Each structure stands twice: as C-alpha cells, then as structure tokens.
C-alpha cells in the first residue's frame, strides 16, 4: 500500500462516480445475466415478483441470494439463511476493512453508500487506481452503481421468464445451482494453495448432507472452506 496516498483524506466527487461507472460498465452485462438467472430461480422457488426484486435491491449479493434460495422453505430457516449468507459474503468484511485507510475523511453517508455497492471487481479496480492517485470514494461507488440497475432489472426479467417456462428440470435450470457455484470456485482458484478450501468445503458439505437434516450442508461446507482459507492465507509470505 502507498502510505502517502492512503494518508490523504478521501474525496467523493461526481467526476469520480463517472469514472467508476465507465470502468465498471464492462461488468454491467454480467450483472444483468446473473440477475436473470436469480430471478428465474426465485420464480421457481415461489417468490413474488416484488419480493424477488426487493431482495436484489436490498441485499445486492448474488452468491448469497442464490445460496439462500437453495435452503428456502416454509417456515423460513432464518438461522440457516443468515449463516449461509455470512459464509458466502464473509470476504466482503476483509475487503471493506482493507479500504478503510483509503476512505478516511470521506463523508460517512457516501462511504457507506460506496460500500453497499461493493463488488469484487470494483474493490480490485479501486485499490489499483488509488495507488497512483488521490482516493475518491465516488469511483468505488460508480463501479458498483453501474451494476446495480442491471442486476435488479435482470432479476425482474428473469422472474417474468421463469414463470413462463414451466418445469425448471425440462430446461436444465435444476443444474444452475451447482453450475453457479462451480463457476465461482473456478474464478477464485488463482494458485495451488486455493484448492485446499475448495476441497475441504466440498467434502464437509457432502459429509454434512449425509448426517444432518435439512440444508445445513451448505453452511457447514461454507464455514469449513472459509476456515481453511483463513489458515492458508495466514501462512502465505
């Protein structure tokens, strides 16, 4: 980290928002596609259109939302949903913490708005940019905001389509859950040491599926993989 840059008070400018939106525009189509997938799955899970759209608008976390659908039931297993969402989104705690030195001095309301729209790609782009110029929280906000509307809009479109396609099995939509998380694992696999959390998490989920009732296998697998990931990260030079 460039300590001199991080020590400066962060600004929040609309010029920064525009630059962030331009930088993040390449991810807008990706957000829309994932939104359509989530919307279709939410429709098949029995969500009303308004509920599905509100979930995307208020939660804005694709992985956690898809994982929650996997264990959704009546009555809602709140503990399992919360634990699953936490396990899937735990990385954002570390990402947000890493941004604190760069966002020092930015107005709290704007800082938290920027963190609400935080995405993996936006976090990486902001850190890269701020190492060479003064931090601008508007840039981080722009990278997330440009994905927000396509995500919510995609959810609405996917829900409408999901109510019209009939049985999800006939279209192969029952395979989307494992395919979605397999794709996430592939994207996050950057080095050989990353295979440990993936293998441990998958193995723990399979064991839990055999011995625990309900959908606790997702929670067990997510927490086990996260714990191994933390340990592995701590051992890296």
**Predicted local distance difference test score (pLDDT) of residue 1:** 47
**Predicted local distance difference test score (pLDDT) of residue 194:** 66
3-state DSSP assignment of residue 110: helix
Q: Which two tokens stand for residue 237?
A: 């030079």
For the chain, give the number of residues: 237
Half-sphere exposure of 59 (CA within 13 A, CB side): 23
Any bridge partners for residue 11, and if so which? 136
Q: pLDDT tens per residue, the chain (237 residues)?
A: 454 455 456 788 889 899 999 999 988 988 898 898 889 889 888 899 999 999 999 999 888 888 788 778 777 778 878 877 887 787 788 788 888 888 887 788 888 888 898 988 888 888 888 888 888 888 999 999 999 999 999 999 999 988 887 655 566 655 665 665 666 566 556 666 667 777 887 788 788 777 776 566 766 777 777 777 767 655 554
Other C-beta atoms closer than 10 Å to the C-beta of 227 total: 15
Cβ within 8 Å of residue 205, ≥6 positions away? 217, 218, 220, 221, 222, 224
Any bridge partners for residue 136, and if so which? 11
Contacts 24+ apart (CB under 8 A), 222-231: 222/67, 222/83, 222/84, 222/87, 222/88, 223/83, 223/87, 224/200, 225/197, 225/198, 225/200, 225/201, 226/87, 226/90, 226/197, 226/201, 228/196, 228/197, 228/200, 228/201, 229/194, 229/196, 229/197
**Predicted local distance difference test score (pLDDT) of residue 237:** 46
User: Are residues 154 and 39 in contact, defined by beta-carbon separation less than 8 angstroms?
Assistant: yes
**Predicted local distance difference test score (pLDDT) of residue 167:** 58
| C-alpha triplet 155, 28, 13: angle, nearest 5° | 115
User: Are residues 26 and 125 in contact, defined by beta-carbon separation less than 8 angstroms?
Assistant: no
Closest CA to 83 of 230, 226, 228: 226
**Predicted local distance difference test score (pLDDT) of residue 216:** 65
Half-sphere exposure of 87 (CA within 13 A, CB side): 26
Kindly write down the DSSP assignment for every residue of 43-70, as one continuous string: HHTT--HHHHHHHHHHH--HHHHHHHHH
């Amino acid at each position: 980290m460039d300590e001199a840059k991080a020590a400066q008070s962060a600004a929040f400018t609309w010029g920064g928002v525009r630059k962030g939106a331009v930088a993040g525009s390449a991810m807008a189509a990706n957000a829309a596609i994932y939104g359509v997938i989530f919307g279709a799955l939410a429709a098949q899970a029995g969500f009303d259109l308004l509920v599905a759209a509100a979930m995307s608008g208020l939660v804005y976390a694709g992985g956690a939302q898809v994982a929650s659908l996997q264990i959704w039931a009546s009555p809602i297993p709140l503990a399992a949903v919360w634990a699953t969402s936490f396990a899937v989104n735990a990385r954002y705690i570390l990402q947000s913490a890493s941004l604190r030195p760069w966002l020092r001095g930015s107005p709290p309301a704007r800082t938290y708005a920027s963190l609400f729209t935080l995405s993996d790609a936006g976090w990486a782009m902001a850190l890269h940019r701020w190492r060479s110029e003064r931090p601008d929280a508007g840039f981080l906000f722009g990278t997330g905001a440009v994905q927000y509307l396509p995500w919510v809009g995609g959810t609405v479109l996917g829900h409408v389509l999901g109510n019209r396609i009939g049985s999800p099995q006939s279209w192969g939509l029952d395979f989307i859950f494992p395919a979605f998380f397999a794709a996430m694992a592939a994207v996050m696999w950057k080095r050989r040491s990353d295979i440990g959390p993936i293998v441990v998490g998958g193995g723990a989920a399979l064991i839990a599926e055999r011995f625990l009732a309900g959908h606790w296998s997702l929670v067990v697998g997510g927490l086990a993989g996260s714990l191994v990931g933390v340990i592995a990260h701590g051992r890296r030079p």
